[in-house]
Amino acid sequence: QNDILSKLPLKGKKVLITAGPTYEAIDPVRFIGNHSSGKMGFSIANAAANLGAEVYLISGPSHQKINHSLVKRIDVVSAEEMYKASHTYFKDVDIAILSAAVADYKPKNVANQKIKKTEAALEIELTPTKDILASLGKIKKQQFLVGFALETNNEIENAKSKLKRKNLDAIVLNSLQDKGAGFATDTNKITIIDKDFNEKSFELKSKKEVATDIINEIIKKINA
Ligand code: CTP
Ligand code: CA
């Protein structure tokens, strides 16, 4: 049994993964969120654990389930909570893959009581959330740091500038150009760009297969 385990390529490695959306409270019963299912991040967690990694899966609200002895699931709700949990685990990991669809803005003030409706228009002032990925890029040491990019135009250029700006080792570009990629679907079409701007494009595949491709590319780059 030990022989089999020791041959797994991620045996002894620790991997941090963020997944799902974040919810930013408006009042005790309402929030700002998005349609991320968490499927991509959970699939990556599963793929990494299957190769022997010890996985910390930090997830926003999601219906996804995971049952793997090597995966520790940490549930969070807001971007701030995800930021704190990510920093708690980041120091010790070898790889961090940030696939969460973190809200870019949150209500500046959260009402203590449910906001009552009136005839007047309602304005909610928003303030930026912390960029978790960029903050980890600033403090990274041994960690191989991977981000995602979702773009609708100038995809490759925008992804490359995100990669540099956030000090990443690689970025996974989610192509929306093909139907069947993105939030609500079970499939994705990705291009992986590394810090030397090498690009590798993959076919439209199930998120499970995409997760395996991502993990395999990371293993190749770490061992190169
Ligand atoms: N990300 C993060 N914390 C945030 C916002 C984004 O960690 N507050 C991470 C995402 O998990 C993803 C990457 O940053 O890995 C890129 O997210 P994306 O939304 O594509 O980019 P942004 O930098 O938020 O820029 P924009 O939404 O304007 O394109
Ligand atoms: Ca964003």
Regarding the beta carbon of 211 and ligand 1, being less than 6 Å apart is answered no
Query: 3-state DSSP: the chain helix, strand, coil percent, rounded to 5?
Result: 30, 30, 45
Q: Ligand 1 centroid vs 101 CA: distance in angstroms?
A: 7
Q: What pLDDT was estimated at residue 178?
A: 58
pLDDT at 139: 98
Query: Which residue's entry shows tokens 């998120």?
Result: 207
Check residue 217 and give its pLDDT: 98
Assess whether the C-beta atom of 98 lies below 6 angstroms from ligand 1: yes
Domains of the chain (ranges, CATH numbers): 2-108+125-223 (3.40.50.10300)
Predicted complex ipTM exceeds 0.95: yes
Contacts by 78-81, CB closer than 8 A, 24 or more apart: 78/22, 78/23, 78/24, 78/25, 78/103, 78/106, 79/22, 79/24, 79/103, 79/106, 79/129, 79/130, 79/132, 80/106, 80/129, 80/130, 81/22
Which residue among 32, 89, 98 has the greatest number of ligand 1 atoms within 8 angstroms of its CB, and so is best to mutate? Answer: 98
pTM, rounded to two decimals: 0.95
With b for 16 or more beta-carbon neighbours within 10 A and e for fewer, the 20-57 pattern comes to bbbbbebbeebbbbeebbbbbbbbbbbbbbbbbbbbbb
Which of the listed residues 104, 150, 176 should we mutate to test ligand 1's pocket, taking the one with most ligand atoms within 8 A of CB?
Answer: 104
Confirm whether residue 90 is marked as ligand binding: no
Tell me the average confidence (pLDDT) per consecutive run of 10 residues in the chain, 224 residues long: 72 98 98 96 98 98 97 98 98 98 98 96 97 98 97 94 98 78 79 97 96 98 94
Residue 178 assigned to a binding site: no
* pLDDT score, position 44: 98
Look at residue 176 in the predicted model and tell me its pLDDT. 74
